[in-house]
Amino acid sequence: MTTELTGLTALDLLDGYRKGEFSPVDAVRAVLARIEETEPELNAFVRVDAEGALAEAEASTRRWRRGEPQGLVDGVPVTVKDILLQRGMPSLRGSKTVRVDGSWAEDAPSVARLREHGAVFVGRTTTPEFGWKGVTDSPLSGITRNPYDTSRTAGGSSGGSAAAVAVGAGPLSLGTDGGGSVRIPAAFCGIFALKPTYGRVPLYPASAFGTLAHVGPMTRSAADAALMMDVISGPDPRDWSGSAPAAGSFQDGLRGGVRGLRVAYSPSLGGQVAVQPGVAAGVRAAVTRLAGLGAYVEEVDPDFTDPVEAFHVLWFSGAARVVQHLSPAQRELLDPGLQEICAQGARYSALDYLAAVDTRMALGRRMGLFHSTYDVLVTPTLPLTAFEAGVEVPRGSGVRRWTGWTPFTYPFNLTQQPAASVPVGVDGARLPVGVQVVGARHRDDLVLRVAHALYEAGVAGIAPPVVA
Q: Tell me the pLDDT tens digit for each residue of 290-341.
A: 999 999 999 999 999 999 999 999 999 999 999 999 999 999 999 999 999 9
Task: Using the predicted structure, report yes or no on whether residue 2 has a pLDDT greater than 90.
Answer: no
Q: pLDDT confidence of 450, banded at 50, 70, 90?
A: very high
Q: What is the pLDDT of residue 1?
A: 53
**Quick one: pLDDT at residue 374?**
98
Give domain limits for the chain.
2-456
List, for residues 184-209, the tens digit of each pLDDT value. Answer: 999 999 999 999 999 999 999 999 89
* pLDDT greater at residue 103 or residue 413: 413
Residue 466 has a pLDDT of: 86
Q: What is the pLDDT of residues 105-144, one digit of tens each?
A: 999 999 999 999 999 999 999 999 999 999 999 999 999 9
Domain spanning 2-456: CATH superfamily: Amidase signature (AS) domain (3.90.1300.10)
Query: 415-442, pLDDT tens digit by residue?
Result: 999 999 999 999 999 999 999 999 999 9
Q: Which pLDDT score, from 0 to 100, does residue 244 have?
A: 87
Mean per-residue pLDDT of the chain: 96
3-class SS string, the chain: CHHHHHCCCHHHHHHHHHHCCCCHHHHHHHHHHHHHHHHHHHCCEEEECHHHHHHHHHHHHHHHHHCCCCCCCCCCEEEEECCCCECCECCCCCCCCCCCCCCCCCCCHHHHHHHHCCCEEEEEECCCHHHCCCCCEECCCEECEECCEEEEECCCCCHHHHHHHHHCCCCEEEEEECCCCCHHHHHHHCCEEEECCCCCCCCCCCCCCHHHCEEEEEECCHHHHHHHHHHHCCCCCCCCCCCCCCCCCCCHHHCCCCCCCEEEECCCCCCCCCCCHHHHHHHHHHHHHHHHCCCEEEECCCCCCCCHHHHHHHHHHHHHHHCCCCCHHHHCCCCHHHHHHHHHHHCCCHHHHHHHHHHHHHHHHHHHHHCCCCCEEEEECCCCCCCECCCCCCCCCCCCCHHHHCCCCCHHHHCCCCEEEEEEEECCCCCEEEEEEEECCCCHHHHHHHHHHHHHCCCCCCCCCCCC
Query: Percent of the chain at pLDDT above 90?
Result: 96
- Residues with a catalytic annotation lie at 81, 157, 181
Residue 253: per-residue pLDDT: 96
Whether pTM > 0.85 for this model: the answer is: yes
| pLDDT tens digits, 31-65 | 999 999 999 999 999 999 999 999 999 999 999 99
